[in-house]
């Protein structure tokens, strides 16, 4: 057996462990009875320790060393490069730190839930202080060149740095803040009164959104849609992709756009090549690129006029209490309502990134020691006022709202905004190649757009780093230009500004 075959055999076994965890995680959120929790966390911990010991096996290190000095194909090299990253991350941290982080995480998560429901930041404060300390230690072990935050960004978006993000984000902010202000002040606000007339049944919402997912190209013979409190997309591999949604009978768009979002994640997973299954070449490249797929289908497609030109009749047939004179224009404007608000997950496409920037600024300052955890509530509120013009009435609706910090996921938030920027850049490139895509969407044909994403993004797996993949697909460096252009052109029309 060659070194490469030995290496790939080990990598595929690691991937099987990942598939098992994926299925158990899905089951935990959708099917598991409440009393199953204790055994489930033991099962998950067992799999994770199995994966860790296999990844850190000295033989894996020897194989990587040997393969790095051999002549490999581009695909083989990509697999070696990606596993080297994981191996280094897994071996650089001392076992005591890994254990301490795991112990701290479960306690911190629990205290955060209490603190959030009791609006008591002081209760969470010592836990967040400890999280920041452990995160900084982790970053030091991983290593970085310029900024300690780079080591954290790299965990979620390989290759991303503060020096790339700062100009990207500040340029975006300078364009969005005045746009949002003009939208808020416009007298031409959307009419959403059709939403107040009656209930949107869960069953009909399910039927309608599944139809949309299927038309986009999600293969229900290789995937499922179920219900969970927090929607997500996971599964075992390209032929077993599972996403979830939730229903609100007062408001049908939460489910619809949630489903279109997860369908974007799901079609990416289903579009990974089966020949590379179980290796990095057959895996999604980063959270930012993943989010580009979900945000593109949710916003650029789902919130377009063309989408509603095709779907309005079906929507009205599904929900027969809707006024018969409800037209495309009213629907299109209603689903593009922009309103600065306090809660990130409920925010619209135009203000969403400002919420992310508040978190980005805080994380960057925290790990660089420029602010203390105790300063967070005030810092949060003043940034919300500066960026969005709103001030939270309490910490539950402010600094305590997100789960990420309680889980130690510092460095994760920027991937959401990167996803939005990448989505606009990819969509613009697809339109440049095929200007008829919107006309096709207006006829309910999504294949041209999905095929473009398949050939430019999905089939490449983790062959290139995220920024290089984007460059190859669009011919440009990651930039906020296309996103800003997209927002301006859409909202100046909708709000007549």
Give me the 280-319 binding string for Zn ion, x by CB under 5 A, dash otherwise.
Answer: --------------x-------------------------
Whose Cβ is closer to Zn ion: residue 294's or residue 304's? 294
Pairing status of strand 233-237 against strand 223-227? unpaired
Residue 262 CB, nearest approach to Zn ion (Å) = 7
CA–CA gap between residue 292 and residue 415 (Å, rounded)? 9
Q: How far is the CB of 155 from Zn ion (least distance, A)?
A: 17
Nearer to Zn ion, 301 or 442 (CB): 301
Phi and psi, residue 364, nearest 5°? -60, -45
Nearer to Zn ion, 55 or 233 (CB): 233
CA 63 to chain centre: 33
Angle 477-479-482 (CA atoms, 0-180°, nearest 5)? 115
Cβ within 8 Å of residue 96, ≥6 positions away: none
User: Which residues partner with 75 through β-bridges?
Assistant: none
Between 291 and 306, CB nearer to Zn ion: 291
Which residue matches tokens 């994380």? 363
Instruction: Report how far residue 464's alpha carbon sits from residue 79's, in angstroms, rounded to the nearest whole number.
Output: 10
Residue nearer to Zn ion on the CB measure, 234 or 309: 234
**Cα 449 versus chain centre, distance:** 20
Write out the two tokens for 13: 């076994």
Catalytic residue numbers, as ranges: 262
Cβ(38)–Cβ(251) under 8 Å? no
DSSP letter for each residue of 286-297:
-HHHHHHHHHII
State the minimum distance, in angstroms, from the CB of residue 481 to Zn ion.
Answer: 23
Closest CA to 124 of 370, 374, 371: 374
Size of the site for Zn ion (CB under 5 A): 1
| Reduced DSSP (H G I as helix, E B as strand, rest coil) percent helix, strand, coil of the chain, to 5 | 70, 5, 30
- Smallest distance from Zn ion to CB 58, Å: 37
Query: Would strands 223-227 and 240-245 be described as parallel, antiparallel, or unpaired?
Result: parallel
The Cα–Cα gap between 185 and 172 comes to 20
When the beta carbons of 79 and 294 are compared against Zn ion, the nearer one is: 294
Shortest Å distance, C-beta 117 to Zn ion: 25
CB of 244 or CB of 479, closer to Zn ion: 244
Angle (CA) 11-14-19 rounded to 5° is: 125
The nearest distance, CB 98 to Zn ion, in angstroms, is 27
Output the smallest distance, CB 301 to Zn ion, in A.
15
Residue whose CB is less far from Zn ion, 295 or 332? 295
Sequence-ordered list of residues with C-beta below 8 angstroms from that of 430, at least 6 positions apart, any chain: 437, 449, 452, 453, 456
DSSP letter string, 116-141: HHHT-HHHHHHHHHHHHHHHHHHHHH
Q: Write down the least CB distance from residue 291 to Zn ion, Å.
A: 5
Q: What residue is closest to Zn ion based on CB?
A: 294
Q: Where are the alpha helices (DSSP H) in 286-407?
A: 287-295, 305-318, 328-334, 352-367, 376-388
Give the Å distances, CA to CA, from 143 to 66, 210, 318. Answer: 23, 45, 55
Q: Does 381 bind Zn ion (CB under 5 A)?
A: no
Which one, 231 or 392, has the nearer CB to Zn ion? 231
Question: What's the rounded Cα separation, in Å, for the pair 333 and 365?
Answer: 38
Nearest alpha carbon to residue 68 among 2, 4, 8, 154: 4
278 conformational bin, left if phi > 0, alpha if psi -120 to 50, beta if neither:
left
What number of other Cβ atoms are within 10 A of residue 385's Cβ? 12
Q: Per CB under 5 A, which of residues 223..252 are in contact with Zn ion?
A: none
| Smallest separation, CB 26 to Zn ion (Å) | 15
Q: Which residues bind Zn ion (CB under 5 A)?
A: 294
């Amino acid at each position: 057996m060659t070194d490469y075959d030995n290496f790939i055999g080990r990598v595929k076994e690691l991937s099987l462990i990942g598939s098992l965890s994926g299925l158990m995680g899905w089951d935990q959120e959708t099917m598991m009875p409440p009393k199953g929790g204790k055994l489930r966390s033991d099962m998950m911990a067992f799999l994770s320790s199995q994966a860790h010991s296999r990844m850190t096996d000295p033989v894996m290190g020897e194989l990587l060393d040997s393969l790095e000095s051999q002549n490999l194909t581009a695909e083989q090299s990509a697999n070696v490069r990606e596993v080297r990253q994981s191996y280094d991350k897994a071996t650089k941290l001392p076992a005591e730190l890994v254990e301490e982080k795991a112990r701290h995480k479960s306690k911190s998560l629990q205290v955060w839930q209490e603190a959030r429901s009791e609006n008591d930041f002081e209760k969470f404060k010592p836990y967040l202080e400890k999280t920041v300390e452990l995160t900084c230690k982790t970053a030091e072990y991983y290593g970085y060149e310029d900024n300690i935050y780079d080591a954290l960004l790299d965990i979620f978006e390989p290759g991303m740095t503060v020096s790339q993000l700062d100009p990207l984000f500040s340029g975006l902010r300078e364009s969005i803040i005045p746009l949002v202000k003009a939208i808020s002040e416009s007298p031409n606000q959307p009419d959403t009164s059709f939403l107040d007339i009656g209930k949107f049944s869960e069953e009909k919402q399910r039927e309608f959104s599944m139809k949309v997912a299927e038309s986009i190209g999600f293969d229900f013979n290789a995937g499922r849609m179920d219900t969970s409190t927090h929607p997500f997309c996971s599964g075992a591999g390209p032929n077993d992709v599972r996403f979830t949604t939730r229903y609100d009978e007062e408001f049908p768009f939460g489910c619809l756009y949630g489903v279109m979002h997860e369908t974007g994640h799901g079609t990416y997973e289903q579009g990974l090549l089966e020949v590379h299954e179980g290796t990095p070449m057959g895996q999604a490249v980063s959270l930012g690129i993943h989010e580009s797929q979900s945000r593109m289908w949710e916003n650029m497609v789902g919130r377009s006029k063309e989408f509603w030109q095709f779907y309005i009749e079906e929507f009205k047939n599904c929900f027969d209490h809707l006024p018969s004179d409800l037209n495309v224009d009213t629907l299109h404007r209603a689903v593009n309502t922009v309103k600065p608000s306090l809660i990130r997950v409920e925010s619209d496409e135009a203000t969403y990134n400002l919420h992310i920037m508040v978190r980005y600024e805080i994380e960057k300052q925290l790990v660089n020691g420029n602010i203390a955890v105790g300063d967070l509530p005030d810092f949060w509120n003043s940034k919300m006022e500066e960026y969005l013009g709103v001030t939270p009435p309490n910490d539950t609706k402010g600094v305590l709202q997100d789960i990420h910090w309680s889980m130690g996921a510092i460095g994760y938030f920027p991937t959401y905004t990167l996803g939005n920027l990448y989505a606009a850049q990819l969509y613009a490139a697809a339109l440049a190649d095929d200007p008829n895509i919107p006309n096709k969407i207006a006829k309910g044909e999504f294949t041209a757009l999905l095929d473009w994403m398949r050939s430019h993004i999905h089939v490449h797996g983790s062959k290139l780093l995220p920024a290089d993949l984007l460059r190859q697909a669009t011919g440009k460096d990651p930039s906020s230009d296309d996103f800003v252009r997209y927002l301006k052109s859409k909202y100046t029309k909708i709000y007549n500004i």
